[in-house]
Amino acid sequence: MHRKSRRAFESLRDLDPYRILDMEVYSTLLWHTEKHIDLSFLAQELLSIEPRSPQTWIAIGNCFSLQKDKKQALTCFGRATQLDPGCAYAFTLAGHELVDTRIDQAINYFQSGIRADPRHYNAWCVISHHTERRLTHATHSGMGWVHAI
């Protein structure tokens, strides 16, 4: 599936090399497949085409995230939300950077993503997953469901 998706994005970029729209999704695909060089190249190209686009800053943030530089990734995702406060995806990616270390702050980012776009399923999925884990933990530890929420 990743290969087909990547080929589709490469064809799209061949047809429209100045396209910004949807490049945040492509950058995430490159992140998932750990294509460091391709992701870096994409981010640099987007920066030269449109430095004031949230998609550009998401791609740059994905570069830093892939290099395990959470602080710089968060800065870039934050820049994306400054440029477009309605960019739910940037809030969600920021939340993913913190989900393993600062869950409460991560949940705040996911909630901001949902406020930006109430139908943004990525943020809803993560929030529901962590709510379920808290409820399961509370139930198994005898705390009861009220304390979990």
CATH of the domain at 42: 1.25.40.10
Distance, first Cα to last Cα, the chain: 37
Q: How many CB atoms lie within 10 A of CB 1?
A: 6
For the whole model, what pTM was predicted? Answer: 0.86
Does any domain span residue 101? no
Q: Tell me what pLDDT residue 145 has.
A: 47
Domain with 73 in it:
2-84
Does any domain span residue 76? yes
Which letter does DSSP use for residue 61 in this model? H
Which letter does DSSP use for residue 21 in this model? T
User: CA-CA distance, 147 to 149, in Å (whole number)?
Assistant: 5
Does any domain span residue 121? no
User: CA-CA distance, 6 to 146, in Å (whole number)?
Assistant: 45
User: CA-CA distance, 62 to 78, in Å (whole number)?
Assistant: 12
Does any domain span residue 35? yes
Beta strands in 28-138 (DSSP E): none
Does any domain span residue 95? no
pLDDT average per 10 residues of sequence, the chain (149 residues): 90 95 96 97 98 98 97 98 96 94 90 91 79 62 51
Q: Tell me what pLDDT residue 131 has.
A: 67
- Structural domains in the chain (count): 1
Does any domain span residue 131? no
